[in-house]
A and B are shown apart, each in its own frame.
Chain A
Amino acid sequence: MVFNHKGGVGKTTLTVNIASALADANKKVLLVDSDPQCNLSSYLVEASVLDDVLDRSDTDAGQTLWSAVKPIVEAAGDVKPITAVERFPNVFLIYGDLKLADFEQELPQMWLEALQRKLKGYRGVTALSYTVNEIAAQHDVDYVFYDCGPNIGALNRAILLDCDYFIVPAALDEFSIRALKTLGITLENWIRTWRTVLDLAPDNIYLLPGAPKFLGYVIQRFRVYGGQVSAGQAAYLPRFEKQIYSDIVSRLRSVDPELASESLVENVLGEVRDFSTMATKSQIQGVAIENVRGGNQQLKAEARESFSVIAQKIIERC
């Protein structure tokens, strides 16, 4: 999961480009657009096609995440099977949906019901997980990436607790550093509460694993002058490293030392400079930055290098 409740840090761009780099390394990737804003779907699919898919999401032919969980929300049965679409070779997408916001409204109640050991609660909280795992198995994927909305709501909680690992993308600015504190507190709280649910749950029931490991952070969207991070932004780097350790790593390790590495070096997953117009072009064309048609060749080569380093670390650690 690529997660940071701070908006505008490049979650979606990072998700697409890592997926592309992993596909280049012969890995199969499933991308899940769990953001009701559908940014990832918009990135990878033409607007007219996406509009058509969203228009049909409430019908029997619906193929979005909402279509899958709708029977749960409406208490009309279990999750409905949906399919993923292949967007690049070995990269599949599950469509997001604006109506996921409706599902998110129901999730806090389902969470409470899970704490009360009610089957309906377990079924609701695990609905997305079950859907995604089914599709991942169908396509025999190596990695699943959730692109989530910038918030610390119930939907992201259910997703984070389903993940084996999460990545924190961040920008070098004051707001990103401040966001780390709330992020750490929230993560710790979610994991601890879910552990209570796990302790109380009956055997032989489908549950979220609830042990997301911190895979590392990716510093994004910094400006480069003369091959170096711009002086103004470079000043944030030491503060950022310190805050990552105190706000994320130490909090996770207080729950379980396995959830985060103590090594500062290991926690750096990669650095991705600001690719400005190349990132915009990649969104318009629906491809990774390195595959953009036209544009600056040097920037494309830099993008290939940056994302393949991240992909390689993911392959080594996961």
Chain B
Amino acid sequence: MTEQDRPKQQLEQEAINAMFHVLNGLEEESQQRVLQTVVAYYQSAFPVQSRIPPRGAESPSIGPFSEDRSISPKSFTMQKQPSTDVERVACLAYYLTYYRDMPHFKTLDISTLNTEAAQPKFANATVSLENATKMGYLVPATKGTKQLSAAGEVFVQKLPDREAAKTAMAGVKPRRKNRKGGQREESQQSEGDDQS
């Protein structure tokens, strides 16, 4: 059996064991320094992570306003100036994630926050969330919930600078849906939602 054939979990376990073995030989201060260096290295090597980063003051990557937990959803949305329903969904998803500690949410959570943010009704909130998912702002999570995608997070952070925000989404391919016959349907390239 080659190394590539070995189960992934086993490899990960061996890596963790090796790390503990090496770190145990160091003093506490050195351990912290080594760990910080490793984390910093891998963060810069993989700046766009698929997992939700840590929240609140512990996170260095969640944007310049993330520590201001007093901002209201209305102020946040006004600050970000989303121009479509889909963008508004992304902004509200960001707010739920970082200001309400709700990384996984349903359509009703977004709609309720939208009302609280004094924003106009969504023409169809379910469709807006689906479109936001298709366009890569959100990703499906467990039990029918959604969560903010890494690209969606960067997009919201860059707003209201639309050019920078657009660049953040440039590498994201819209999700494609398999048809029954195995064919792939063209994803909706347009914003799909009403222009605000």
Binding site for B on A (CB under 8 A): 44-46, 48-49, 52, 85-89, 284-287, 291, 293-294
Taking CB atoms, residues of chain A closer than 8 Å to B123 are: 284-285
CB of B115 within 8 A of CB of A85, answer yes
- Beta-carbon nearest neighbor of A293 in chain B: B194
Taking CB atoms, residues of chain A closer than 8 Å to B125 are: 46, 48
4 more contacts with CB within 8 A, not counting A85-B116, A285-B121, are A49-B111, A85-B118, A86-B74, A286-B121
Q: Give A89 Cβ to nearest chain B Cβ, in Å.
A: 7
CB of B118 within 8 A of CB of A88, answer yes
Given contacts A48-B125, A294-B194, contact A285 B120 (CB under 8 A): yes
CB of A48 within 8 A of CB of B118, answer no
Considering the complex, which residues of chain B in the window 98-115 have a beta carbon less than 8 Å from any beta carbon of chain A? 107-108, 111-112, 114-115
- Beta-carbon nearest neighbor of A283 in chain B: B121
CB of A44 within 8 A of CB of B112, answer no
CB of B118 within 8 A of CB of A46, answer no
Q: Give B195 Cβ to nearest chain A Cβ, in Å.
A: 7
Q: Give A125 Cβ to nearest chain B Cβ, in Å.
A: 31
CB of A286 within 8 A of CB of B108, answer no
In-complex Cβ contact of A52 among B108, B114, B121 (8 A): B108
CB of B196 within 8 A of CB of A293, answer yes
Interface-centre pick from B120, B121, B122, B125 (highest chain A CB count, 10 A): B121
- Beta-carbon nearest neighbor of A92 in chain B: B118
Considering the complex, which residues of chain B in the window 107-149 have a beta carbon less than 8 Å from any beta carbon of chain A? 107-108, 111-112, 114-116, 118, 120-123, 125
CB of A89 within 8 A of CB of B118, answer yes
A125 to B125, CA, bound (A): 39
Taking CB atoms, residues of chain B closer than 8 Å to A88 are: 118, 120
CB of B112 within 8 A of CB of A49, answer yes
Interface size on B, residues (CB 8 A): 17
Taking CB atoms, residues of chain B closer than 8 Å to A52 are: 108, 112
A253 to B190, CA, bound (A): 61
A85 to B118, CA, bound (A): 7
Taking CB atoms, residues of chain A closer than 8 Å to B108 are: 48-49, 52
Given contacts A293-B196, A294-B194, contact A46 B111 (CB under 8 A): yes
Enumerate 25 A-B pairs (CB-CB under 8 Å) in ascending A order: A45-B115, A45-B121, A46-B111, A46-B115, A46-B121, A46-B125, A48-B107, A48-B111, A49-B108, A49-B112, A49-B115, A52-B108, A52-B112, A85-B116, A85-B118, A86-B74, A86-B118, A87-B115, A284-B121, A285-B120, A285-B123, A287-B120, A291-B120, A293-B196, A294-B194
Taking CB atoms, residues of chain B closer than 8 Å to A85 are: 115-116, 118
Q: Give B1 Cβ to nearest chain A Cβ, in Å.
A: 54
CB of B74 within 8 A of CB of A44, answer no
Taking CB atoms, residues of chain B closer than 8 Å to A87 are: 115, 118
CB of B114 within 8 A of CB of A46, answer yes
Which 10 pairs from chain A and chain B are nearest by CB?
A: A286-B121, A86-B118, A46-B111, A49-B111, A293-B194, A49-B115, A46-B121, A48-B108, A49-B112, A48-B111
A222 to B116, CA, bound (A): 36
A291 to B196, CA, bound (A): 10
- Beta-carbon nearest neighbor of A281 in chain B: B123
Taking CB atoms, residues of chain A closer than 8 Å to B74 are: 86
Q: Give B16 Cβ to nearest chain A Cβ, in Å.
A: 44
A294 to B125, CA, bound (A): 18
Q: Give B54 Cβ to nearest chain A Cβ, in Å.
A: 30
Q: Give A231 Cβ to nearest chain B Cβ, in Å.
A: 37
Q: Give A278 Cβ to nearest chain B Cβ, in Å.
A: 15
A285 to B115, CA, bound (A): 13
- Beta-carbon nearest neighbor of B118 in chain A: A86
Q: Give B158 Cβ to nearest chain A Cβ, in Å.
A: 25
A89 to B119, CA, bound (A): 9
Q: Give B106 Cβ to nearest chain A Cβ, in Å.
A: 9
Taking CB atoms, residues of chain B closer than 8 Å to A48 are: 107-108, 111, 125
A280 to B108, CA, bound (A): 23
Taking CB atoms, residues of chain A closer than 8 Å to B114 are: 46, 49
Taking CB atoms, residues of chain A closer than 8 Å to B118 are: 85-89
Taking CB atoms, residues of chain A closer than 8 Å to B196 are: 293
CB of A293 within 8 A of CB of B112, answer no
- Beta-carbon nearest neighbor of B121 in chain A: A286
